[in-house]
Amino acid sequence: MTTLFGNSPALSAEHFENLEKQREAARFGMWLFLASETLLFAGLFALYAALRVRNPAAVQSGIGANDIRIGTLNTLILISSSFTVALSHLFLEADRRARSLACLATTIVLASLFLVLKATEYAAHIRHGILPGQTQFFTLYYMTTALHSLHVIAGMLVLTFLGIGIMRRTVRKGRAYPLELGTLYWHLVDVIWIFLWPLYYLGSHG
Amino acid sequence: MKAYAGTWIALVLLTLLSWSASRLVTTLEFSISLGIAVTKAALVAFIFMHMGRAKATHQAGLIVAVVLILILIGLSSIDMWMLL
């Protein structure tokens, strides 16, 4: 029987000796993927560092135009979503499916809230004539935050897919590793924002 | 469960501390904010992502990526600083 996350729920895929080896291969693949995702943002972080060294006044001026309240609220939202997604995995491992699903749903709601606030902030910038290409700071700001938002959207899709798996019981206690991998991805999205917040929001608001 | 809740509270408090520091301190605020961000990232990596329990081969990939980022940031900053 083919299920959402492989063959028979109890068996490993054909090319693995057993389920444990399949899990380990998947975990290794996910950690490598997280490393590549980290490197995807490396160039943008390096560009920011270069801009900050070359023209610190432009960076301070750009930060002053960003809404620190929205940035801080979004930080609290993503931190909370990391907590709820970690709980979701914990509950599934304890065979508490309903609680796991509730935590996963909360994570998706928090992610949606993050995107709504980000869109609100973009709209306010556009109203004030702050557009990509206008200054180096805001070109970098739009590129980095938009790329991060795309990762949030991808994470929401992955978590929704996993929620369907939990409802269909293809992801469950004893076979919860797809959720474990999904939560790892979500935590990375959170970690990237943890660094974006001080770079683009903190400073010159005092 | 308690460890997760404690970590979440610590992350919220560190976020508020970082926000307060950015308003109160003027000269060192960026370094303080980055230091707090590194602490928060470590909390997420070691408590939520269980990085400490991951196999060394799994950890190596991410550590190499972080080291490469630091080299890239360092070299770009030095290059820009020399152009000043």
> Is the separation of the CB atoms in A27 and A177 below 8 Å?
yes
Residue A204: the pLDDT is: 62
Q: Is A131 left (phi over 0), alpha (psi -120 to 50) or beta?
A: beta
pTM: 0.90
Residue pLDDT, tens place only, B44-58: 999 999 988 888 888
Rounded mean pLDDT of chain B?
87
Binding-face residues of B in 17-56 toward A, CB within 8 A: 18-19, 22-24, 26, 29-30, 33-34, 36-37, 40-41, 44-45, 48-49, 54-55
Q: Which residues of A touch B43 (CB under 8 A)?
A: none
Residue pLDDT, tens place only, A72-116: 999 999 999 999 999 999 999 999 999 999 999 999 999 999 999
B82 touches chain A (CB under 8 A): no
Residue A15: the pLDDT is: 72
Q: Residue B24 pLDDT more than 80? A: no
Instruction: Please report which confidence band the pLDDT of residue A1 belongs to, taking 50, 70 and 90 as the band edges.
Output: very low
What whole-number percentage of chain A has pLDDT above 70?
91
Q: Which residues of A touch B41 (CB under 8 A)?
A: 191, 194-195
Q: Do A86 and B4 touch (CB under 8 A)?
A: yes
Nearest chain A residue to B84, by CA: A54
Q: Residue A164 pLDDT more than 80? A: yes
Q: Which of helix, strand or coil describes residue A175?
A: strand
Out of A35, A82, A197, the one facing B62 most closely (by C-beta) is A35
Residue A12: the pLDDT is: 65
Instruction: Please report which confidence band the pLDDT of residue B27 belongs to, taking 50, 70 and 90 as the band edges.
Output: low
Q: Residue B83 pLDDT more than 90? A: no
Q: Do A46 and B44 touch (CB under 8 A)?
A: no
Q: How far apart are CA A19 and CA B50, in angstroms?
A: 21
Q: How many CB atoms lie within 10 A of CB A108?
A: 18
Rounded mean pLDDT of chain A?
89
Q: Which of helix, strand or coil describes residue A6?
A: strand
